[in-house]
Amino acid sequence: MKLNYIFSLAVAAIALLGMTGCSHEAELTDTIPANVAAVVRIDVTELFERAGFEKKGSEVVAPDYWKDAPSEILEVFSNVSDGVDLDNVIVVQTAAGRQVITFEVKDEKALTEVLEKNDKSVTKEDGYNAVSTHQFSMIFNDKQGWAMENRDVKGIISTVKAMEDDAKKQSIAKLAGIKQFLEKDYTINIAGNTAAMGGNSIPAELQEVWGTVGINVEEKEITFEGHALKADGDVVEVNELQAINPAVLSYIPGATNFVALAGCTPEINWDGIIEAISTLGGVQARGVMGILSPYIKSIDGTVMIAAGASPDSSFDDYDSWQFITMIHMPQAKVNEALATARNMMSRYGIPFSEDKDGVMSARMTPDISLYAGNVDGYLAVANRPFSPNRQNGLAKNFVNKNGGLYFDIQSLRLLNPSAPAWGINIVTEINSDNVKGAVKLNGTNDDILPTIIKAVM
């Protein structure tokens, strides 16, 4: 879905701030076919309150930072509270790849009048009221409205009729679990149909599974929670993962910007993962994966990779970054992998030193050495000596979890001098039945949504 499309639709829905009414999700989902690729319900009232918009009388007042943003759609829709009820905006990506926004019409005449008052000509097309501008096309009747980006009126009518025909066969409203998820009290509810998105590459057992993500926008953070759901609402658990061993976190360098880890079991479909990487990476990747495949398939515990800028060097001096990878597998495979690494490095004239306490090292450059060894039963590789006494404070995020992701940067200016001074912190946990996470900003006490919007405008 294009960013500028979402941006335009979001601006269009600012009118929600002053609108009231009961939930009409059921009626809208009755018109959305079950074969869509994705459905997104947006609580624009909350979203734009978090963004700093205010309702004063009959007008929507934009925050100061919005002064240079396009105003055309805001001017049109900020006065439509008598005509439409946008308490629940639903954006649909159809099976054909088209994006449509839909909403309930409360008063057809009032909506027509406000559009014409704002110099938007309303015509009659195939039984619909129709509006077309250089940014979007919209049609509506006395019950419902639809809008699409850069589509002629005939095109949007054709798309809407096709959706309605498919919905008569089976609608989203008939998928009890998905309908129930869309009604949950999130700021944004996203449901994606794995079969529609993945085509023939999706395994048969996942053909009827939907991926759902609920997002809440708070003042200082954005939180999210994801599930794999069957159409009836049953949660699909991930049995291929197990609890990670938090002890590996003690090996992470204190200055760390990125950590990814997972507790793997033999049930993981490594063949499918290896094939996907080989296909995406081309000939070179296929050759590398051919060498690594026996070891990857032997993984039977926690896998972790961590990296971060060295405290005494520049953030963008990636050669000086500290990194560590630890992989648990049977000891015979660990020893075999180390022997293979020693032989391969020797062929390139980079001999490893003699093993010491299960660890060998090789001088890669005058300033950088590579360390590899059997560390606490893990195949471990790093560019710093292994030490289990690092204090990084990450254990609290991942104890009793099946996996996780951590990303932290104190200032975006470390990446680009013209970027904002604030940074980003992301923590995600993976459990057997869900994925949860939070996004926060570093170096600022400002509300998160206005801060991000100002940065991208």
Q: Residue written as tokens 């023939």?
A: 200
The pLDDT mean for the chain works out to: 83
Query: Residue 7: pLDDT band by 50, 70, 90 thresholds?
Result: very low
* Residue 259 DSSP one-character state: E
- pLDDT tens-digit map of 155-192: 899 999 999 999 999 999 999 999 999 999 999 999 99
Q: What are the residues whose beta carbons fall under 8 Å from the beta carbon of 191, sequence distance 6 or more? A: 38, 39, 40, 178, 181, 182, 210, 211, 212, 229
Round to whole Å and give the CA distance between 425 and 270: 30
Q: Where is average pLDDT lowest: 37-46, 127-136, 309-318?
A: 309-318
pLDDT at 15: 34
pLDDT at 18: 33
Q: Where is average pLDDT lowest: 42-51, 110-119, 201-210, 285-294?
A: 201-210
**Tokens in use for 30?**
């009755």
Q: Rounded to the nearest 5 degrees, what angle is found at the Cα of 411, between the Cα atoms of 409 and 415?
A: 85
Instruction: Tell me the residue length of the chain.
Output: 457
Residue that wins the pLDDT comparison between 289 and 46: 46
pLDDT at 274: 79
Query: Residue 352: pLDDT band by 50, 70, 90 thresholds?
Result: confident
pLDDT at 89: 85
Tell me phi and psi for residue 372, to 5 degrees: -145, 145
Q: Rounded to the nearest 5 degrees, what angle is found at the Cα of 371, between the Cα atoms of 369 and 376?
A: 160
Query: Residue 2: pLDDT band by 50, 70, 90 thresholds?
Result: very low
Element at 131 (helix H, strand E): strand 128-132
Q: What are the residues whose beta carbons fall under 8 Å from the beta carbon of 67, sequence distance 6 or more? A: none
The answer, yes or no, to whether residue 8 has pLDDT greater than 50, is no
**Tokens in use for 197?**
């998105």
The answer, yes or no, to whether residue 111 has pLDDT greater than 80, is yes
- pLDDT tens-digit map of 412-435: 998 888 999 999 999 999 999 999
SS3 (DSSP) at 440: strand
Full-model pTM: 0.84
**Tokens in use for 401?**
């979890």
**Tokens in use for 17?**
């701030």
Q: What is the Rg, in whole angstroms, of the alpha carbon atoms belonging to the chain?
A: 27
Round to whole Å and give the CA distance between 304 and 382: 12
Mean pLDDT across 43-62: 78
